[in-house]
Amino acid sequence: MNERPLILSVTSGKGGVGKTFATINVAAALARTRKKILVVDCDLGLANIDIMLGINPSHTLQDVAFGNKKLQDIIVATAGGFDLAPSSSGVKDMAQLLFEKIEMIKSMIRELSGYDIIILDTGAGISEVVLQFNLLASKNILIINKELTCLTDAYSMIKVMFQVFERDNFSIIVNTVASEKEAVKIFTHINSICRRFLGFDLDYAGYIIQDDLATRSILTQKIALLDAPESEMARNFRTISNNISSWQNNHP
Amino acid sequence: MTKKKKASKDELLIRINELKKENEHLKSLLLTDELTGLYNKRFFFRQLNVETARTKRTGQPCTLIALDLDDFKHINDTLGHYIGDQLLSRFAGTLNKIIRPTDFACRFGGDEFFIIMPSSNLIESLNVAKRIKASLRNADFTPYLTEGTHVSVSIGLAMYEPLQKMTVESFFKMADNNLLAAKKAGKNQIFHEQDTNIRSTVVNNLEREALSTPFEEITNKEQQ
């Protein structure tokens, strides 16, 4: 186990592209390889990992922000085999946390030990809070699909992160595709635009096939990967997990 | 009295120069803020019109930063207006150091400030806003405030784009509303437009066109 956990963020630019669904399944796939994984629900305005997993946490990141709890104390184990630092949903004011509080949460995450990988599930959009959590991660995983609005928002996110913060370490997961061929096409498309206008290449982490399994597992609060381990979707998540593991090995 | 001698040419020149200086002085009084030396509200609206007109002509967007020191009334009320004024001057000095030479920092009165940033996009003004916030965080106001006390600022941003068909008023209001939103959300933060607007401002037309090119076309090109 590395002394310092690899910190990744899962982000999207646009909402509703399956960011959280991807996060918990990838985390579960990584956990299956005997890695210690922590998912932090950084979507402070509209947290929903707890809902997706059917957990009713007694303490959340909001308690940490207000100094009532330590980050370690709110972490719960999940059915997916990974740990979760939950957030409260529906607390509208939380989306615009004071800068100092974000900094505090960030440094607490940075100081956590005992994990191989920490995955930050950010909120949608390009708000200051989302950017801050993306900055904490050494690599940003962007979930995209083939919709133009989604591609444009993902590109906006990449451009802001690059131009404002000089970040160029992004990995792409293409969600809701009919085939791997389609995923590669979409990836090639957005990558060519990044190369042309920003001057760097993106990394390809994998794809997630379109399947009703996604909707079903969200409705039943189950983890698709564990619920249907033989499905193509589960295989997709295992592939993504393998790719992420290879980054960890290169992690200093 | 008709006999009064005509002033010599030299005397006239001197008088003209005096008048010119006086004019300059009056002009500066008219357009600058006495306390801070920044531009005043009158200058601000004049320049805002100039810059939005320029944007329409050149197509280069310009941005506006609205700033308001947090809980400044409390400082005035507890420490007195002299110290309040000193802080305002110091803050104005900081603004002048951070902005680009082409930007216009204006004091609106009280603890409200606006910065016009010609030829800039939201990314650039967000950067400036962040630097202003950070400078306050690190600023040492010890002669005036008790050690370790900090002054914070709430900031609203807006961008004027020629294609958006925005009026000067709505441009100004957008920055001001974002500032109000930042205040309401608990102060000491930066608000800009909605994310959807950020999208339209971050991504330029060339990029947008490239993004919307059908994938088929791209793969075909790559095969050639």
pLDDT digits 0-9 by tens, A75-120: 999 999 999 999 876 554 554 555 667 888 999 999 999 999 999 9
Ordered per-residue pLDDT tens for chain B, 224 residues: 555 667 788 889 999 999 999 998 888 888 999 899 999 999 999 999 999 999 888 878 899 999 999 988 888 888 888 888 989 999 999 999 999 999 999 999 899 999 999 988 877 888 899 899 988 887 777 677 776 677 899 999 998 876 666 788 888 988 998 898 888 877 888 887 644 444 556 777 788 888 888 665 444 444 43
Does the reported pTM lie above 0.80?
no
CA nearest A185 in B: which residue?
B215
Asked, for residue B1, whether it belongs to a domain, the answer is no
Are B66 and B156 spatial neighbours (Cβ–Cβ below 8 Å)?
yes
For position B201, what pLDDT does the model report?
61
Give the range of the structural domain holding residue B129, as residue numbers without chain letter: 35-223
- Give yes or no for a contact between B154 and B179, defined as CB atoms under 8 angstroms apart: yes
Which of A48-52, A209-213, B140-144, B205-209 is least confident? B140-144
- ipTM of the modeled complex: 0.82
> Considering the domain boundaries, does residue B111 fall inside one?
yes
Residues of B with CB under 8 A from a CB of A: 123, 126-127, 133, 185-186, 188-191, 195, 198-199, 202-203, 206-208, 210-213, 215, 218-219, 222
B175/A94 Cα distance (integer angstroms) = 22
Instruction: Name the domain count of chain B.
Output: 1
Q: Which of B218, B224, B208 is nearest to A187 (CA)?
A: B218
In a domain, B142, yes or no: yes
Looking at A17-135, which runs of residues are DSSP E strands? 37-41, 76-77, 83-85, 117-121
Nearest one of A127, A109, A113 to A41, comparing CA atoms = A109
Is B189 among the domain residues?
yes
Q: Does residue B139 sit within a domain?
A: yes
3-state SS class at A84: strand
Query: Do A122 and A9 meet the contact criterion of CB atoms below 8 Å apart?
Result: yes
Token reading at A156: 């906006």
Asked if residue B43 is part of any domain, the answer here is yes
Residue B99 in any domain: the answer is yes
**Among the listed residues A135, A71, A77, A155, the one whose alpha carbon sits nearest the alpha carbon of residue A105:** A71
Round to whole Å and give the CA distance between A101 and B186.
12
Q: Is residue B119 part of a domain?
A: yes
In the DSSP assignment, the letter for residue B165 is T
HSE-CB at A158 with a 13 A cutoff on CA atoms is: 29
The domain defined by A6-243 folds into Rossmann fold (3.40.50)
Gap between the Cα atoms of A139 and A168, Å rounded? 9
Amino acid in the structure at residue B73: K
Pick from A164, A166, A194 the residue to mutate for testing the B interface (most B CBs within 10 Å).
Answer: A164
Write out chain B residues lying below 8 Å of A126, CB-based.
195, 198-199, 202
Query: What's the CA gap between B223 and B52, in Å, rounded?
Result: 46
